[in-house]
Amino acid sequence: MMARACALLLVLVSGCATTKWAPVEGTYGGEDYGLELTLPEGWMELHRGDVIAASRNGALLERIRINRIPVGEQLPNTNRRVTADMLPEDLASLSSDSTRLAEGVTNYEVLASEPAAVGGQDCYRMDFAFRAQAKLAIRSREYGCLVGSHLYSIEFIAPAQHYYDAYLADFEASRATIRFTETAPSGR
């Protein structure tokens, strides 16, 4: 997941993206995306494919990223795929491995991993820290769950100094507005 985020970030920062950042207005996602949410007021947003991103001061300083990954897809940096029978703790382990093994990530540490609920769905919540390529200390909080035929990853990531603590409440307020429009898989 981290490698996918870094690749998206490089495209966005380089100006090669055909979609531009725009001020947050109203609800994002919808039936075609599988969820709806309200992003924080005063932030900028970008919706591109299966990724919704938002930032207040620029994607390198803090960002919210909602990623939709189809069941059966292999996560970056791993040889493991998302499967329909994965429990939240299995998804957390898979996501953790994907980030831990990403190029440029050092000193990776899971600070907390526990069950959570998002939009009425059973999820995991994982807090982790690492150092990025520039040796910058990064903190992240990620929620993830299987809904229908997708893994939804809802993440806030920011430098540990100032930005993480300053904007974590905005992320949590936005996460609390999530409503899944994709149906849960049968038998779960």
139 and 158 Cβ atoms separated by less than 8 Å? yes
Radius of gyration of the chain (CA): 15
Task: Indicate if the pLDDT at residue 2 is higher than 90.
Answer: no
Mean pLDDT comparison of 17-31, 158-172, 174-188, highest-scoring range = 158-172
pLDDT digits (tens, 9 = 90+) for 127-156: 999 999 778 999 999 999 999 999 999 999
What does the pLDDT look like over 59-99, one tens digit per residue? 989 999 999 999 999 988 988 999 999 999 999 999 999 99
| Helices 2-14/88-100 angle, 10° precision | 50
d(CA 181, CA 183): 6
DSSP state of 8: H
Question: What CATH topology corresponds to 27-154?
Answer: Protein Transport Mog1p; Chain A (3.40.1000)
- Note the pLDDT of residue 185: 53
Tokens in use for 165?
């603590």
For residues 156 and 117, give the distance between their C-alpha atoms in angstroms, rounded to a whole number: 16
b vs e for 170-179, b when ≥16 Cβ sit within 10 Å of the residue's Cβ? bbeebbeebe
Backbone angles phi, psi at 28, to 5 degrees: -115, 160
Cα 151 vs. chain centroid, distance in angstroms?
Answer: 11
Q: Kindly state the tokens that stand for 139.
A: 């903190």
